[in-house]
């Protein structure tokens, strides 16, 4: 997990524009992904009985970087991202797919995949590029909005010390 120091405190959350800079300019990571856990939201699956779901908002490369393959269907990919509202897919967890869609074949995560947090299992994964603007505020452009987390896989042979050195020279704004 990539953490940052703000004043005297470390924080695991980052601004999305900082994620893009780190992803595009670092030399230490094979891959970096960004994600955020969103609180419970209501979702109507077409039955007229909305249920509360717990989604991850993820970058398009999330599943590819983690080496996860879908149980059925397809995942979202970095190549799907072409700006705001460009990825018209969500990925269902196996449990949500089974319980709310009666195992209808569609995009679904593998049975044992629970995301990247140890104590949280999302119901679905939603593309971060589709995060809505709120009253004219766009969290995907705001460097002061530290709402997303970054995790990555180091390149072979790269040490934590070399990674720190690499990240510390990046010109984050």
- The 10s digit of each residue's pLDDT in 63-116 is 999 999 988 888 889 888 887 777 778 888 999 888 888 887 766 788 888 888
Compute the distance between CA of residue 70 and CA of residue 63 in angstroms, rounded to an integer: 9
Which of 23, 66, 20, 134 lies closest to 91 in space, CA to CA? 66
- The answer to whether residue 57 sits within a structural domain is yes
Section 5-34 average pLDDT: 87
pTM above 0.75, yes or no: yes
Give the C-alpha separation, 125 to 104, whole Å.
17
Instruction: Tell me if 29 is assigned to some domain.
Output: yes
Q: Residue 143's domain spans which residues?
A: 4-168
**What pLDDT does 37 receive?**
86
Residue 155 domain flag:
yes
* Structure confidence at residue 47 (pLDDT): 76
pLDDT band at 167 (very low <50, low <70, confident <90, very high): confident
Residue 79 lies in a domain: yes
Number of domains in the chain: 1
């Amino acid at each position: 997990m990539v953490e940052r120091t703000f004043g005297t405190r470390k924080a695991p959350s980052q601004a999305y524009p900082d994620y893009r800079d780190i992803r595009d300019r670092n030399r230490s990571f094979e891959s970096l992904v960004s994600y955020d856990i969103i609180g419970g939201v209501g979702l109507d699956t077409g039955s007229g009985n909305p249920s509360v779901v717990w989604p991850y908002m993820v970058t398009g490369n999330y599943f590819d970087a983690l080496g996860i393959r879908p149980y059925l269907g397809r995942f979202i990919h970095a190549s799907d991202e072409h700006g705001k509202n460009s990825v018209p897919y969500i990925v269902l967890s196996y449990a949500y797919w089974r319980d709310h869609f009666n195992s209808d074949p569609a995009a679904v995560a593998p049975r044992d995949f629970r995301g990247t947090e140890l104590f949280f299992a999302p119901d679905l994964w939603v593309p971060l590029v589709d995060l809505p603007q709120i009253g004219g505020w766009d969290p995907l452009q705001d460097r002061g909005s530290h709402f997303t987390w970054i995790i990555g896989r180091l390149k072979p042979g790269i040490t934590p010390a070399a990674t720190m050195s690499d990240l510390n020279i990046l010109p984050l704004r």
